[in-house]
Amino acid sequence: MTKGLVLVTGGNGYVGRELVRQLIAQRDCEVHVLDNMASGEHRLAQMDEQAFVLHRQDIRDTDAVSELLRTIRPSIIYHLAAVHFIPACEAEPGNAVAINVAGTVNLLNATPAGTKFVFASSAAVYRPLPDAHLERDEDLGPVDVYGYTKLHGEHFVRHYHNQNKVRGIIVRLFNVVGPGETNPHLVPAIISQLASGNRQLALGNLFPHRDYIDVSDVAYGFRALARHDAFEGGPLISNLGTGNTHSVGDVVATIGTAAGVTVDVQQDPLRVRAVDRPMLKSSTQKLRQITGWAPSISLAESMHRAWTNRMEDRLT
């Protein structure tokens, strides 16, 4: 039996690398990766390069993307390539739009008809709410450039799905944690300071509560949702989170426990975001209904994994 061909864009990135590992391990598909290597060549050292085909390309290159998809004709595309770091999106909104929106359109336009197109969206598409977010249009309302780019990407996935050009699956990720992070988000910032010997941490906003989900659970969730085939009234849209939230203080304490140290936190005005949500929590009802699965890795286990793998997490 011929194996199906799967393409992961951003496969050298944070979630992408873990997804590639899991796809290789399941041994039922031929894995291809499209990546411009923005996360660093060194990350390939932790991957089995003989087990997948790497295409060193940029999703902004329309001709290259078209030629690649015309040649390999994947049955599933996991589209993870994007600019994720909110301060970077705010500093260079044109670049964020070029990658997160125009790059997505390039892929959609070149995707062979009938291909499953699994789009990594974000909880950043939601408006601030005090309760768990449901996958409803009335709950949408981004507050930053990153959120707007992801929502625009969703719009194009919906359009191409409704035109019967792809079978769209939109996955709204909540806060991904664990080993292998490629951006200086909260967890890498804490680990970096602790690893350098600091016990008084300088962090940004301290009030937010977030729904933290381990990167391994995220990759599993992507694969579980990709098995869905019953599309009714548009693309499948599902949250991918745990349904639980933790404060910044919870995260600091949990990493401190993993590192075996006591930590003092101070707010750094230079790290404070002018716009930040007090709460971001996933409703997991739809995820459970569709897949019969729920994330299982606790914050404590995830932070232990991140701490013990900290040398692999170093940014370039």
> Which residue in 221, 97, 202, 113 sits closest to 152, CA to CA?
97
Q: Which two tokens stand for residue 81?
A: 């390539």
What is the pLDDT at residue 179?
94
Tell me the pLDDT tens digit for each residue of 49-64: 899 999 999 999 999 9
Q: Which two tokens stand for residue 273?
A: 């975001």
Q: Which one has a higher pLDDT value, 46 or 188?
A: 188
Q: What is the mean pLDDT of the chain?
A: 92
Q: Which two tokens stand for residue 264?
A: 């003092």
Distances 219 to 10, 80, 133, 181 between C-alpha atoms, Å? 13, 11, 21, 14
| Region 130-157 average pLDDT | 97
Q: Is the pLDDT of residue 15 over 60?
A: yes
Tell me the pLDDT tens digit for each residue of 269-286: 766 666 567 889 999 999
SS (H, E, C) 244-308: CCEEHHHHHHHHHHHHCCCCEEEECHHHCCCCCCCEECECCHHHHHHHCCCCCCCHHHHHHHHHH
| Region 261-271 average pLDDT | 79
| Region 33-39 average pLDDT | 96
Q: Is the pLDDT of residue 313 over 70?
A: no
What is the pLDDT at residue 1?
39
Q: Is the pLDDT of residue 210 over 80?
A: yes
What is the pLDDT at residue 216?
98
Tell me the pLDDT tens digit for each residue of 215-245: 999 999 999 999 988 787 899 999 999 999 9
Domains parsed from the chain with CATH numbers: 4-176+213-240 (3.40.50.720), 177-211+243-313 (3.90.25.10)
Q: Which two tokens stand for residue 118?
A: 């699994």
Tell me the pLDDT tens digit for each residue of 99-137: 999 999 999 999 999 999 999 999 999 999 999 999 999
pTM: predicted TM-score of the whole model, two decimal places: 0.93
Q: Is the pLDDT of residue 147 over 70?
A: yes
What is the pLDDT at residue 271?
64
What is the pLDDT at residue 186?
86
Whole-angstrom distance, CA of residue 207 vs CA of residue 226 = 35
Instruction: Name the pLDDT band for 308 (thresholds 50, 70, 90).
Output: very high
